[in-house]
Amino acid sequence: MIAKSTCDYEADYSTIPGDRILPFVFSLNLEDSILYPSKGEYQKFCYDITAVGQDSPHYADLSHFLFGICSTITKENIIEITVSINGKPQTVVWGDNVEIKTADKPDNPTGCTGLKFDFPLNKIVGYMKVCISLRTPYSIGPVNVCLYGGGTTATGLTVCGPSCGGDEPCESVFYQKETVCVPVKVTPFAKPGTAKATCCGDPIVSTGNQCMGNQTSCSFTITQSLCIEIPISFGAVIETGSAVVKCGTPSEEECDCSEPDDAEVVDAPQNTVDTRERRFFLSLRKRVCVLHTFKDIKQSRRRNFKRPKVACLKLYGVCLINISSNINQCSLPSRPVQ
């Protein structure tokens, strides 16, 4: 049975901000893929790579890309690879335009590993289709999509692909309410069309070289009311700090993920100056802690402090931390305070 973990069918790098944007969308083609092969079939992953950029220096053409497939997959495990660009089949040459980059010899200059495709693609009208057929079925999970072009590396987004299984991260979802404000400037313009002249009556022929009137042009104004539709998309970019781990005791038995009966609370170290009490909480459900800086929460908690107390964020996932000072360490395991 082929295992499948949570993964996305699409990775869109066109929405990732930066000095230069690689405007390409990677989509798993479910119609042409064979994720769960029947007898006599081979597992097959097909991807559509579509350019959605504009004719601007802010957008870059694609030079090459990598799929971070399972590290145990070798050239011998791959039966066939096909590549087409804008409907035209491309010649695949192992070691030239297709190769596997390992941790010992990662891709230069991205530093990424996996199955590399060295096929350039235009940022505006480019469309590429890639299919990978495997001799042995693999688990289906998130694989990293790493892009390079225009001196820029884009990595971190994932798409469903052949993964090793058993090493996928446990995904947690967090929520934070924000109020976003953006200034909007509307600049009017008026572009004239092509003037069309129509003769009214017959021409009048006069002798001499003096014309009636003394102006070379006529001026007038036109006033037009406008209704302007202004579409604005709001979003956010998530950044995390470096991950640290608190190692437990190795055992041959499976992990006990049940809640502990007693929760231990450890106070944060006190500064020499008079400060309010801060406490940190770490869920026993995870061993990995990622330190976040919640500046808005920090400010709001300080305004609400009337006496020393503990305010615990109800974030159930990797770390349950109330950060109201610059102390960046994790406490001993503790149950979240209600």
CATH code, domain with 51: 2.60.40
* Per-residue pLDDT band at 248 (split at 50, 70, 90): confident
Residues 53 and 77 occupy one common structural domain: yes
Last-in-domain residue among 163, 195, 227: 163
Q: Is 116 exposed, middle or buried (0-12, 13-18, 19+ CB in 10 A)?
A: buried
Same domain, 20 and 151: yes
Do residues 95 and 29 both lie within one domain?
yes
200, part of any domain: no
* 284-338 pLDDT tens trace: 333 334 444 434 434 444 444 444 433 343 333 434 344 333 434 444 444 444 4
Q: How high is the pLDDT of residue 20?
A: 94
Lateral strand order in the sheet of 88-90: 10-12, 24-28, 43-51, 127-134, 78-85, 88-90
> 163, 192, 212: which is the final residue of a domain?
163
* Domain-embedded: residue 195: no
Tokens of 268: 């944060």
* 156 or 207: which leads in pLDDT: 156
Q: What residues are paired with 80 via a beta bridge?
A: 133
Shared-domain flag, residues 174 and 141: no
Residues 147 and 242 in one domain: no
Q: Cβ distance 100 to 114 under 8 Å?
A: yes
pLDDT, tens only, 110-125: 999 999 999 999 999 9
Single pTM value for the model: 0.52
SS3 48: strand
Q: Looking at the predicted structure, is the pLDDT value of residue 71 above 60?
A: yes
Choosing from 112, 140, 163, the residue where a domain stops is 163
Specify whether 156 is located in the same domain as 50: yes
For residue 291, being part of any structural domain is answered with: yes
102-116, 234-248, 311-325: range with lowest mean pLDDT: 311-325
Residue 299 located in a structural domain? yes
**Which residues, at least 6 apart from 124, have a Cβ–Cβ distance to it below 8 Å?**
51, 53, 54, 55, 59
Average pLDDT, the chain: 78
Give pLDDT tens digits for 164-175.
875 444 556 778
144 plus 241 within the same structural domain: no
Separation between Cα atoms, residue 239 and residue 30, nearest integer Å: 31
Closest by CA position to 63, among listed 28, 99, 22: 22
Identify whether residues 76 and 113 lie together within a single domain: yes
Tell me: do 107 and 130 sit in the same domain. Answer: yes
**What is the pLDDT at residue 12?**
97
In a domain, 287, yes or no: yes
Single-letter amino acid code for the residue at 172: S
Say if 220 falls within a structural domain.
no
Query: Do 78 and 22 belong together in one domain?
Result: yes
Instruction: Determine, yes or no, domain membership for 34.
Output: yes
Name the residue range of residue 158's domain. Answer: 10-163
Work out the pLDDT band at 262, boundaries 50, 70, 90: low
270 and 151 in a common domain? no
**Cβ contact 180:234 at 8 Å:** yes
The Cα 266–Cα 289 span in angstroms is 16
The pLDDT assigned to 100 comes to 97
Residue 231 within a domain? no
174 and 121 within one domain: no
The whole-number pLDDT of residue 168 equals 44
Q: Count structural domains, the chain.
A: 2
